[in-house]
Structure 1
Amino acid sequence: MAAKIESIEVKGIEVPVIFEEDSRLPIVTTQFVFTNSGSITDTKIAGLAKFSSRILNEGTKKLGADGFAQELESRAIHISSNCGKETFVIEVSSLKEEYAKSMKYLKELVDDPNYSESALEKVKTTMIGGLSRKANDFDYVAAVELNKVLFEGTVLAQPSSGEIETLKKIKLKDVKTFVDEHICLSRAIVVVGGDVTLEDVKKQIKKVLKTLPKGKAEELPHFDVRAESKENVLDRETQQAYIYFGSPYNMDVSDEDNYKARVATFILGMGGFGSRLMEEVRVKRGLAYSAYARVEVTKSRSYLTGYLQTKIESSDEAKTTVKEVFADFVKNGVTQDELEQTKKFLLGSEPLRVETMSQRLNRTFMEYYKGFKLDHSKEELKKIEALQLDELNEFIKKHTEILDLSFAIVTKK
């Protein structure tokens, strides 16, 4: 059965419900998604959103982390929370016969989170330890530095996991304030799929939603990427140069030309050995094992980013090669053969992107979240199939902003 979107009224607020019934397996998966509640809201304390999601993974105050986990395990129920840049998600999965019980446990969790000093210190220790280990993960270091360059002066310039000094300062009251403000009805979207009826879904999720405050929805901010090129080089004890790069990409999340960007970017840097970057950087010049570039277009940001690793002595040549590949791409576009090969891959691999229920639900959610109608993805595939070479090259030549590349490089000087 195809996914559909309905709503449920709670405390005078219409909460969207994305639902797909699938009886092939006796399981139910539920996601409570809260918009404008991810790390993009960490304007005062870097890492607070992710820290708060970790606290909600510590069970209830009554049972504690271990007691709550044992209760869930005894019924094969899984509850976890996580956050991205824009959204905060609480996910629940269970067997069909335990669905009602899983919602009961979720209600207990949002009613009585484990706001204890022991949970606070445990999460601090875990997250600080993780950041300490990442200090020598130079891919992570370069990626964080690139965000500092591209989004300088904004909340997106800071790592979503925060920094050691900011994490040390987080108090229980900070977590409570975050949860109260963001885990609320006004920001909620519920996504459910599995062997269950929509009637039962509405009945069970309403019990959880009724415990949430109304809250207040706020418009998601949009951040522009640095328009002028900049380069930051970090000196580290490394045997390789880690080169991360990015540029603006002038496109809105609801732009009807997004499918052209998908095709163009696949040819430029996402198509593995068939991509321009891989061909020039690895195959022709042997500068790196792999080279990659992609476009990220979301409600809060739109930009192109990529990376490669190379020998320290080859760093300048690799950087120059990336610039040359981009310049040639914008000036001359792509070939008919590149377009046809990309069409074959994107259209031929489509079944792999929708073979599981979670994939289909996520696609439906993203269509709704971005403001498209249902089955927009199918319409996009038809457009890709019909895309002509001159249309694509005209689109590529318009996006000269991708030539304004900024770099974050970790190397040994």
Structure 2
Amino acid sequence: MSRPAVVKALWGAAALVLVAGCSSGGGGTGTGTAPPPSPPAVSSSATATGSSPAPSGSSPAPSGRVTVAGTLTEGLRSPWGLAALPGGDLLVSSRDERTVTRVDARTGAKTVLGEVPGVVPGGEGGLMGLAVRDGWVYAYLTAASDNRVVRMRYGGGAGERLGAPEPVLTGIPKGVVHNGGRIAFGPDGMLYAGTGETGETGLAQDRDSLGGKILRMTPEGRPAPGNPFPGSVVYSYGHRNVQGLAWDDAGRLWAAEFGQNTWDELNRIEAGRNYGWPEVEGRAGRAGFTDPVAQWPTAEASPSGIAFTRGAVWMAGLRGERLWRVPVAGAGAGAGGEPRAFLSGEYGRLRTVLAGGGGRLWLVTSETDTRGTPEPGDDRILRLEVG
């Protein structure tokens, strides 16, 4: 079935998919809403005609809706990272073409700022996450010998091109798969990076390796003050393949992570914690490991980018081809309600989501990454309004 190129005023009553309960299935649909599961919550999907009530014992969540206000731009090739410039325009990276493109946030006009030298695409590697700070564009990329973070000068003027890349952090293990790739500046001004274990599972538990970790560093790439392991950029470990990073209004860090065959995860990240891989996948309740706040069968998520707005973490799903909303409770708590899914199957694989302020999200599709089924116009950046 063809996906729509542009959908205007698409409300949750038409596209909302609710969490239904425990299931070992891979994203089947039903005709209504099943009773909420007992903890630990496990997600499967059921088609619904409106918003479900808040789970027992939790505060009522916002009604939950997504309006696809339109398509900002289309015709992108293997888009991966997305970052906002101070004036509101967007930068998007092409994993395989190694380019960074500026997108006018009003008109959708595209300007290629340059090809980043030294990028060696292959498998799940290439030019991936982007971040912007103080006249620099930061990028997470796969080079000939490693994954690394670099930065390039960019003043933001019309017609300007990116400067030459300067290394910020090198030596992150690379592989055909599980290269991580997301970077973001936290509210503390430090640069965070999510890495993968490249399929070599032992790296995740090895605190001397940068693979299978969340890293925290200064903008220049040095270990950030207050890191849990002295002299190290490692902030948390025991990760399989971190794909999304975002902070809530209380300043807490959240991360989306690919599971293997059973559970994908949304984790609340705390300094020095061990998130279990490869010893555990999903919730295990084992001493010494931190369980995820939410988990999904891999067919329903394969999570990529995440963003926070309107009291919830919003998580883009690749294999799941849907946008998950996970309500977040106040400081000191975890999730504030059951996850819900939107846009199921409407736009194919979803790679990156970015908060735009005022309840707006930018959502990047990922059909041209060799694993999708591209249609005319793919890939695109969508304008979403959420509540």
Settle same-fold status: TM greater than 0.5: no
**Bigger-Rg structure (1/2):** 1
**Structure with the largest fraction of strand:** 2
TM range (shorter): under 0.3
Q: TM-score scaled to structure 2, two decimals? A: 0.27
**Structure with the largest fraction of helix:** 1
Of structures 1 and 2, the one scoring higher in RCO (CA 8 A, sep 6+) is 1
